Amino acid sequence: MGWFSLLFGPDGWAPLLLRGTVITILLSVVTVPFGFGAGLVLALLKLSPSRPVRVACDAYTTFFRGIPDLLSLFIVYFGLQSLLNVLARLLGDAWRIEMNAFVAGVIALSVVVAAYSSEVWVASLKAVPPGQAEAARSLGLHPKQVFLLVILPQLGRVALPGMGNIWTILVKDTSLISTLAVSDLLRAASEASRATTRPLLFYGAAAGIYLIFSIVSGVGQAYLERRANQGYA
């Protein structure tokens, strides 16, 4: 059967691939606030004066950055399942919480992204000149205002290259979720290629789509960096 009809014919697999693409994009986009947000919180905790807190956060980061992402995803995925199981037993049968694969995937990815991004956030927090915070405080701004209005915008500029890197890693890590039966793009390509025994066609198509993501992300990142660096030499 010609490749065109395999993709676009009446029994074509293109709609499934398209749905997989949407899931991949959704997975990546939904993970961003949770993963990067948790990473920022982690970074702030790492700069805390309390030593146990710093040690705990460093341990978390070292653990998830030191093991394969695939293993991290498995640990969070199966660990979450077991945890929910134990919770259900503790709280009684009536409280069994159901969690779908997409949410589990987002949580697993967020845990990994938080670990990676916390390093970038820490470096960025240290790169913002301390004079900025001092000046803001001396102007009478409340600590929360100091952070939100003065530090955070400057953080963005310094953190952008590192974050862009982590975004790339995130999009590629969504492909690992395919091993956990979430129907993302790579999973759709796997199912299609197994049913039709035409792996080159479907994995090639998936690779092409990922490549487009990658190029678009690169262009987007360059644009954001140009804008963020507008006022600077």
Partner 1 sequence: MLDALEGIAGFVFNLDLLSTYGWRLLQGLRITAEVVLISCSLGFLLSYPLARGRMSRNPLISAPALAYVTFFRGTPLLCQLYLVYYGAGEIRPFLASVDLWWFFRDAFYCCIFAFTLNTAAYQAEIVRGAVQSVPKGQLEAARALGLSPYAIARHVLWPQALLIALRPLGNELIGIIKASALAAIVTLLDLMGETRFVFARTFDFSIYLYSALIYLSITQAISRLWNWIEALLSRHLLAGRPATMVLGAATRKGQGAALDPLRAEP
Partner 2 sequence: MNVAKVLSLIGLATCLASMSAEAKEWKTVRFGMDATYPPFENVDPKGQIVGFEVDYANALCAKMHVTCTFQNQDWDGIIPALLSGKFDVIFSSMNMTPARAKKVLFSDMYYATAPVWVAQDSNKSNDTSFAALKDKAIGTQSSTVFANYLDKNYKGIEIKLYPGGDEPLLDLANGRLDYAVSDILVTQGFIAKNPGCCRIVAEIPRTADIFGPGVGAAFRPEDTDLAALFNKAIAEADADGTFKTLEAKYFKIDIRGKK
Near partner 2 in 192-221, by CB under 8 A: 192, 194-195, 197
- Smallest gap from residue 119 Cβ to partner 1 (A): 12
Distance CA 172, CA 19 (A): 17
Work out what residue 75 binds among partner 1, partner 2, none; the CB cut-off runs from 5 to 8 Å by kind: partner 1
Q: Beta-carbon neighbour count of residue 106 at 10 Å?
A: 21
Work out what residue 111 binds among partner 1, partner 2, none; the CB cut-off runs from 5 to 8 Å by kind: none
Distance CA 222, CA 160 (A): 10
Distance CA 137, CA 143 (A): 7
Q: Tell me the three state secondary structure of residue 113.
A: helix
Q: Does 181 bind partner 2 (CB under 8 A)?
A: yes
Near partner 2 in 119-178, by CB under 8 A: none
Of 78, 75, 81, the closest CA to residue 99 belongs to 81
- Smallest gap from residue 141 Cβ to partner 1 (A): 21
From residue 54, give the alpha-carbon distance in Å to each of 37, 41, 123: 18, 12, 15
Work out what residue 76 binds among partner 1, partner 2, none; the CB cut-off runs from 5 to 8 Å by kind: none
Distance CA 80, CA 74 (A): 10
Which residues here bind partner 1, judged by CB under 8 A?
A: 62-63, 66-71, 74-75, 78-79, 82, 86, 89-90, 171-173, 175-176, 178-179, 186, 189-190, 193, 197-200, 203-204, 206-207, 210-211, 213-215
